[in-house]
Structure 1
C-alpha cells in the first residue's frame, strides 16, 4: 500500500485552459449588476476583451452591458482564413466618456486589432484624444508582420487624421441637414444689400453690414456683386454720417472691414478708390481716432485707426494712385502729424512696459533681459482670406506699423 503525500500537488490531466466565452461572461456580469445597487458602475473608463468568438449573427444587445458603450470587431473568415474564434470587443464607460468612435479595425491571419478614440470628461489639456487599441495575435502568426501592421495602424498621425476626418464629416453632415435656404451666402448677400440700400433703421443697417462683411471675406463673387450694386458709395456715406458713439463706432468698424475685404481683391479695389472723397474720408478717420490706437492682440483685431491705415496702404500700392494722392493739398502734412502723435504714444507705452518689467524683475529676484532683435524678412504679399497661402500677410494690428505702411507707400520722409 502506497500512501500519497498530501503536500504534493497532483498534475491536472485534461484539456488545456481556455478563456471563458464572452457571452457567458456577459451573462454573469449582468446578473452581478442586477444584484448590486442600481446605478453602480465600474470606475474604469474602458475594458478590452480578446478572442470573443462573436460573428455577424450575434447582435450587440447580447453582449452589451448597462452603462457601457460596445465596440466590436468580429473575425472575418475571408480575411483571416479561419471560421472560428478570434474577435475583439472594447467597452467604454458612459459615466467617464460619451464621445467615442471606432477609427481603425484590421483582420488578417497574423493579427486582429480594433482602435477606438475617446475623449474622457477629465482629460489634461495637453491631450486632445485617447486611443485604445485591442490586439489579438494568434499563436501561429508571423510576429514580425504582426508588429509591422500594428505600428502602421496605431501611429499617432494616422489615428488622429482619421479621427479628425470622421469628426469633420459628421459635423458637415449635421450642418448640411440643418441648413436653410436663407442661410446661404448668396441669399444673405442679396438680403443684406436690400437692407443697406432701402432701410434706414440702425439695427437693420448693422445686421446688413455684418452679413456683407462675412460675404466679402469668404466669396469673390459676393465682392463683385456688392460692387455691381454701387453699395461702396453707400458705405462711405454711412461712415461720414457717424459720430464717435459706441453704436456708430461699431458701424464704422464693419464698414471699413468691408472696404478692406474689397481692396484685397484685385477686381474690386478700383471700385473702392474711385468713390468720391474716399481718401478724404479715410484721412478724417485717422485724424478722429488717432488716440484710440488698436489693440495689439491679433485675435481681437485692430481698431478703426489701424484698419483705416491698412486700407490706405492697400489702395496706395499702385503708383498712379499714390501720385494722385501726393498732389492733393496738405495730405502729406496730415500723415506726418498723425505719425508723430502715434510714434510718441507708442514710445510712452513702450517705456511704461519696460519700467513695469524691471520693477517686477527686481521684486521677483530675476534680471531683465531685453528682447533679441530679429532679422527683417522680405514683405509677404497681401491676399484675400479665401486664398490659402503660407506667405499671405495677415491684417496689421499694430497702429505704429500701420501708419508706417502708409508713409512707405507714399515715400514720405518721417
Structure 2
C-alpha cells in the first residue's frame, strides 16, 4: 500500500522539531550538529533572529500578491541583485529547478529571433540542474531520466574537464548556450578551475553562445564570495540562483544581462508565487547580511579552518577517506568506504552530512557556524570514521 507521502525519498529515521544556529533538536531530544544546512539552503543557520524578525514583520503586512501588480519587496531585492552582480535584470522563482527552466527558455528565446537553428545547450558529465523535464534532459544520466521519456531534446553532455571535446562541440552551428555549475554539488563537490571558467567565457564570446552559470548550490556566499564565479572574474549571460538566497524560505531567481533577457517580453514567462512579498523580504535580508564584505571575510577564515581540520581527519583515517575537495564552506570528503556508510555512522554521532556522487560526503554548514561548532563537527566525524574502522 502506497504511503500518504509519495515515496520518492529514502528518508533517514530522524525527525526534528526545533533548530537554532547550526543545531537541530530531534523529536526524541537528541541534539544534532547540522553540516547539511538543508542542502546548502539554511545559509544563516536555523531560526536566525534577523530572518525571523523580517518574516514575522512581513507576514503581519501582506503575504502574497499576484505579479499583475507592483511588489515593492520584489523590486528592492531585484535592485540589490543588480547592484551587486553582473546582471541587468532579475526574474524570481520558487526553486532552483524553476530557475533552470527559465534559463533554458531564455537561451532559446534569445536565438529564436536571431538564428532559430541554434537550440542545443552543452552541459557536463556529473551536472545536476534540478528534476524538471528540462533539468533531467540537461543532466542526461540514466538515474535521472529512466522512465521519463521522451526527453526534451536539445542537450549534449560533455566529459567533465575535456577541453578538446568542449571546443569541438561549441563550434557546431546549432549551439545556443553552455550551461555549467562553477562547483558541482550533487556531482561530488567538483570545482571548475578559474582558468576553465575564463575559458568558457572566451569560448562563448568567440562563438556567440550564451554562457549560463548554475549557482543554485554554490552561490550566496557559499564559496567565500557572493557568487562562486566571482573568484575567476568571468561573468555569465544568465545565472540560476536559489537555495541560500532565501535562507530557508523557498526562493529562487534568474539573473541576466539585458542582451540575453531582451527577448523575454510581456507574456513570455510567468510564476504565480515567484517574487512574493514574504520570500523577497527574507531574501533581501539574507542578501544584506551575506554581501557584507566583513561577513565574507569571516566565511573564508572559517573555510580555511575547516579545511585544515579535515585534511588532518583524512590523514588520520586513510582506510576511510581519500581526499578533501571543494572550496569555501562547500567541501566534500571522498571516501574509500561507501559514502552512505559514513553518513549513517555520522547519524550515530549526531551529526548531519549529505551524500553526493563519486562516493563523496558533502559538508555544507551554515555560513554562520562558530569555530567551536566546526571543531565539534570534526571531532564527531572522527568518531564516525572510527566506527567504520571498528566495523571493518
Same fold (TM over 0.5): no
> TM-score, normalised to structure 2's length?
0.20
Q: Whose strand fraction is larger, Structure 1's or Structure 2's?
A: 2
> TM-score, normalised to structure 1's length?
0.19
| More RCO (CA 8 Å, sep 6+) | 2
Q: Which has the larger radius of gyration?
A: 1
